[in-house]
Chain A
């Protein structure tokens, strides 16, 4: 059977269906199986019977009933059956077809699911994998591909994570206010990780993995809808929208990297920029401490607003990086700050900053630092040293388009 016509429905409903099944069945793994059975049954029946008028309610009912039947048949744990009978009675009494008249309950279920998947008791890699698999409804194979691991390994990681949720008693609940902010930050970290891997992959043949960027933005929008008016959520969503607005301009038709200063700005998505800019404003104006995502978004906003390269407000960008350094003193932020400084005070001053960063030896991705250093040396006319750094960067970079960029620069230097 060709699943293509129903795939859109499955993708759209996957997260909601699973979230509600977890509440009804009280078990993560069981709900996951129920969802799979419901989708399989739909593939059998929909081609002849047509897509039901409320596919979500249909999928939830079929999934729940299949699991209840199976558990009764296998006479599994008594307590589990009691739980199911209670849930069964509850839903029948409250709502014979758990459909769209109960949008709030669905929203609550999805939020619970997000907080469960992003629980700090799970490793960050498991959090990311679980979120993509269960909240976004990506297939295990797609999640494995996204993080360049084998399907078998990814499947095991997912099983282990689901088992820990049950065995350790990780709650299926939205945290209470004293914990809520901290836990929202954890969810945002997961979304940001998905986005950055999509925006600039760490290895492989493609700079951009569009599907990961889109999933991250989708998750950001979902979280923003479920938890409205949170400046840190708005800040991250704005950041992603603004970065992603440049997608078309960042790679040449041949798949080569086009750096910001060389990009065709007419290719930037102006609608997405407008949406992002409005959100940055909101996130920055909100009371309370400013979120690092909002500051990063403000930097992206200044780039997005410059009609051409020379009009970029580098002075303000340097200032924002200094704010960011206070909030998030990481080597990558320091490096980006140095690049901005080079545009205001020149490459010599920036090279001092980069050298002091290198001397502290705290940089994991050395090729990033080598790439920046090479560029600064090139601008200072120190060609031989620049070539040496480009070679160092080339030797360490794992992403094909990045390697080609460094190789191109080496040719331009003409040192060989």
Chain B
């Protein structure tokens, strides 16, 4: 199965980290990514720019409405993701637990919706 691992964390807290800590964190992420590439579970993964750069689009009555945000009102914001291949939910959660962000934020594990095979 494929799972999307959504990494939520407090972006204000991440932004406030000093340079050395940030570098160490990036290093942990690199090591983790290399690990799941070697393990054959990695499909895709990226870090997102902060929510201050986000734009929300809605189509209502045929009209496209574009707004600023969403704003960082909740405690944690989506900051990145991995798309992985895993045997089952237990393997997916075990991989999610190895994401460096799991120690400070939280990881949402969502199975990918595949259409039924022909």
A interface residue numbers (CB < 8 A to B): 77-79, 119, 121, 167-171, 173, 175, 179
Query: In whole Å, how far is B37's beta carbon from the nearest beta carbon of chain A?
Result: 22
Alpha-carbon distance A78/B86, docked complex (angstroms):
22
Instruction: Mark the stretch among B10-18, B20-28, B58-66, B110-118 that contacts chain A.
Output: B110-118
Of the candidates B1, B87, B89, which one forms a contact with A121 in the assembled complex, judged by CB atoms under 8 Å apart? B89
Report B-chain residues with C-beta under 8 Å of the C-beta of A121: 89, 93
The answer to whether A78 touches B111 (Cβ under 8 A) is no
Alpha-carbon distance A287/B35, docked complex (angstroms):
36
The answer to whether A171 touches B88 (Cβ under 8 A) is yes
Report B-chain residues with C-beta under 8 Å of the C-beta of A168: 89, 109, 111
The answer to whether A171 touches B116 (Cβ under 8 A) is no
| CB nearest neighbor in A for B118 | A78
The answer to whether A173 touches B111 (Cβ under 8 A) is no
Of the candidates A77, A78, A79, A170, which one forms a contact with B89 in the assembled complex, judged by CB atoms under 8 Å apart? A170
With A168-B89, A169-B92, A175-B90 known to touch, is A77 a contact of B111 (CB < 8 Å)?
no
Alpha-carbon distance A179/B94, docked complex (angstroms):
10
Report B-chain residues with C-beta under 8 Å of the C-beta of A167: 111
The answer to whether B89 touches A169 (Cβ under 8 A) is yes
Query: In whole Å, how far is B109's beta carbon from the nearest beta carbon of chain A?
Result: 8
Alpha-carbon distance A121/B110, docked complex (angstroms):
11
The answer to whether A77 touches B90 (Cβ under 8 A) is no
Query: In whole Å, how far is B73's beta carbon from the nearest beta carbon of chain A?
Result: 26
| CB nearest neighbor in A for B86 | A169
With A167-B111, A168-B111, A169-B1 known to touch, is A79 a contact of B90 (CB < 8 Å)?
no
Query: Interface digits, B101-113 against A, CB 8 Å rule (1 contact, 0 not)?
Result: 0000000010100
Query: In whole Å, how far is A150's beta carbon from the nearest beta carbon of chain B?
Result: 30
The answer to whether A77 touches B88 (Cβ under 8 A) is no
Report A-chain residues with C-beta under 8 Å of the C-beta of B89: 119, 121, 168-171
Query: In whole Å, how far is B101's beta carbon from the nearest beta carbon of chain A?
Result: 20
With A169-B1, A169-B111 known to touch, is A179 a contact of B117 (CB < 8 Å)?
no
Query: In whole Å, how far is B15's beta carbon from the nearest beta carbon of chain A?
Result: 32
Report B-chain residues with C-beta under 8 Å of the C-beta of A119: 89
Pairs across A and B, CB under 8 Å, 29 listed: A77-B116, A78-B117, A78-B118, A79-B117, A119-B89, A121-B89, A121-B93, A167-B111, A168-B109, A168-B111, A169-B1, A169-B3, A169-B86, A169-B87, A169-B88, A169-B89, A169-B92, A169-B111, A170-B88, A170-B89, A170-B90, A171-B87, A171-B88, A171-B89, A171-B90, A173-B88, A173-B90, A175-B90, A179-B90
Query: In whole Å, how far is B107's beta carbon from the nearest beta carbon of chain A?
Result: 13
Query: Interface digits, B66-109 against A, CB 8 Å rule (1 contact, 0 not)?
Result: 00000000000000000000111110111000000000000001
Query: In whole Å, how far is B99's beta carbon from the nearest beta carbon of chain A?
Result: 17
Alpha-carbon distance A173/B86, docked complex (angstroms):
15
Nearest 7 pairs between A and B by C-beta? A171-B88, A169-B88, A169-B1, A169-B89, A170-B89, A171-B90, A168-B111
Given contacts A169-B3, A179-B94, 19 further A-B contacts (CB under 8 A): A77-B116, A78-B117, A121-B89, A121-B93, A168-B89, A169-B1, A169-B86, A169-B87, A169-B88, A169-B89, A169-B92, A169-B111, A170-B89, A170-B90, A171-B87, A171-B88, A171-B90, A175-B90, A179-B90
